[in-house]
Amino acid sequence: MMHSLIKTLDKVIGFQTAQAHCDIPCKIYDPSTAQLAALSCVRLMDLIKEIEDKGTLSVADYAQLARLVGEKESASTEVKDAVRVIWGDYFKAPQFEQLPNANELTHSIMLQASKCKQSIDRAEGEKLVALVNEFAEAFWLTKGVATYRAACPYPPMLEAVYPDLKG
């Protein structure tokens, strides 16, 4: 009963939808979300290139292309969202003192993710992965956690930064 009353009120008034990562704060931050999204962006660019290389396209190819472009743009937005949350919620004076270029790096990631939304050039995606890797290394540095780089075990097989949690 109460649910239907609130739902009816929502139709009339139009309540604003609240969304947040975690403004409690939960203190759970990890750049891996941004890293996976950046890698996904490159992989989607590769898949788009495969369709382009076919030459003659079917209706199914056009439909697949539309899905791939939408997902690429979504992955680029996910990079921006994940980095923005860490930069805005986790980074405070001590982190900015440790990382004097944090603002510039974050801004570079935002600009590069936008380029990836506008482009299907794999080189632009690789630049995004490199910037996000730099951000991940910086993030783990603020936590006092060593990192290492290794090729991710799935396409696009690019180098990614991983925290060394054994140490």
Query: What are the residue ranges in the chain where pLDDT is below 70?
Result: 1-10, 15, 17-25
Q: 152 with 40: CB under 8 angstroms?
A: no
Nearest 5°: the CA angle 133, 157, 129 is 25
Q: Is 119 exposed, middle or buried (0-12, 13-18, 19+ CB in 10 A)?
A: middle
Which structural domains are found in the chain, ordered by start?
Answer: 31-132 (1.20.120.400)
Where does the chain show beta strands of DSSP type E?
A: 147-151, 159-163
- For residue 23, report the phi and psi dihedrals to the nearest 5 degrees: -85, 30
